[in-house]
Amino acid sequence: MINSVEFTERLKKVMEHHQLSASTFADKVGVQRSSISHILSGRNKPSLDFILKVTSEFSDVDIHWLLNGKGNYPKIRNSGTTPPSSLFEDSNTVSGKKIQRIVVFYDDGTFDEYQK
């Protein structure tokens, strides 16, 4: 279950990091301004739809961190998030099979997926 007080603090951290007021944050995420006010005041708990809108709009917000504080904010990314295209070229095969995607799992529970 989400700890509302801690969730609110993490949400405020995102807003401060992006230098957004509550109303600007609401507009950017695509929710009513009153929704943000009610979540920040503790009156309402965030819906799954709200959480997904936040993580979709702000790529630096990890859903695990937002929900339960596990992980980092902003997301830690490797400097080279695009793998060399040669990994996907026809000549790269494993046991006669072509590579279609590569998934890298990080110790904080996040991952990056690379596709051709």
Residues of the chain with pLDDT under 70: 1, 76-95, 116
Residue 116 to residue 97: CA distance in whole angstroms: 15
CATH number of this structure's domain 4-68: 1.10.260.40
pLDDT at 115: 72
Please identify which residue in the block is written with the tokens 């936040």. 54
pLDDT digits (tens, 9 = 90+) for 21-32: 999 999 999 999
> How far apart are the two ends of the chain, measured CA to CA in Å?
38
Alpha-carbon distances of 51 from 24, 25, 67, 69, 102, rounded to whole Å: 16, 13, 8, 14, 27
Q: pLDDT value at position 9?
A: 93
> In the prediction, which pLDDT does 89 show?
60
What's the pLDDT score for residue 15?
Answer: 95
pLDDT at residue 57, rounded to an integer: 92
User: Six-digit token pair at 40?
Assistant: 């920040």
CA-wise closest residue to 10 among 73, 60, 98: 73
Residues of the chain with CATH 1.10.260.40: 4-68
